[in-house]
A and B are shown apart, each in its own frame.
Chain A
Amino acid sequence: MSEKSFDQCQEVVELVNEYLGHALTVEDHAAFEAHLATCPPCTTYLAQMKTVLSVATSLDENSPPADVEPQLMALFQHWRDKTR
């Protein structure tokens, strides 16, 4: 039985998210990694995508605490007074 293979990079780039999300079948996962092992540009593409995800996560972690604007506190005070 012949093993599955991904011969075209154009096909591989569309599977990167499923690969990162562990959503590929065992067979596709193996074929994806076999392609990467011999393809520097697809390896770079995957690394770029990992960078995007790692930086995206840090956007929230590194957001400075928001200034609690006076109008928001006034709004809370107004709601509080109304509901007392």
Chain B
Amino acid sequence: MTGHAADLETVAALLRGEHSAFTSLVRAHQPAFLRLAQAWVRDRADAAEVVQQAWVFALESLATFEGRSSLRTWLFGIVINVARSHVRARKRTVPLSALVAEEAIDGPTVEPERFCRDGEWVGHWADWPTPFPSPDSALERGRLRALLEVAISALPPLQQQVMVLCDVEGLSGEETCNILGISGTHQRVLLHRARARARALLEENLSDKAET
């Protein structure tokens, strides 16, 4: 069955009231939903509440799903809209645009002080990056995964959502733009900055661990 046909079958099963269809859907998507909700709603309990509201909204709107996007993309869009509404309701005095403005999109992604400022080697690394441990061993992979979860959750909301959608969930740039309502150029800039920031946070954490 193609993804499209499978999505329509899942929707039909849900509309028939089949518990197993809902259980499968929750199992497949709940971790990603929580990750996306936490980009806007940092508190885990509040994020869980947002996700629950998103499920209610998704079920109520199920009959309107036409399969123009994948079911997953459609659901991600709902989670993000519910999370944003939640933030708007809680922070009436802080417009969403102000939160987004936190994500300044100018300037270099690696601290300028890491490079030589003058002389023959201007623009070359002064403070070299330290190699990360290889993720090939299960132990290191587990450690890197835990550190990256923390690093991603520390990113500004839009950068975090772009990185979760593109790099964790494997969505295309186009799907990500559609869900977040941003342009391709903005998506590429946000992803570039998110990855660079996540790398820097990982490097910082790994060197802290090495020093202790």
Contacts and interface: CB of A to CB of B under 8 A. Distances in A.
Contacts of A54: 135
B141 A60 contact: no
Given A55-B141, A62-B145, A9 B170 contact: no
Contacts of B199: 45, 48-49, 52
Contacts of A80: 17
Contact of A73 (B19, B131, B132, B168): B19
B55 A72 contact: yes
A25 interface: no
Interface in B13-29: 15, 17, 19, 22-23, 26-28
Interface string A54-66: 1111111011111
Interface in B100-155: 108-110, 112, 115, 122-125, 128-132, 134-135, 141, 144-145, 148-149, 152
A57 B144 CA distance: 12
Contacts of B169: 60
A8 B19 contact: no
A76 B22 contact: yes
15 contacts: A13-B108, A13-B196, A14-B192, A17-B188, A45-B110, A45-B129, A45-B199, A52-B199, A55-B135, A55-B144, A60-B168, A63-B32, A66-B30, A72-B52, A84-B17
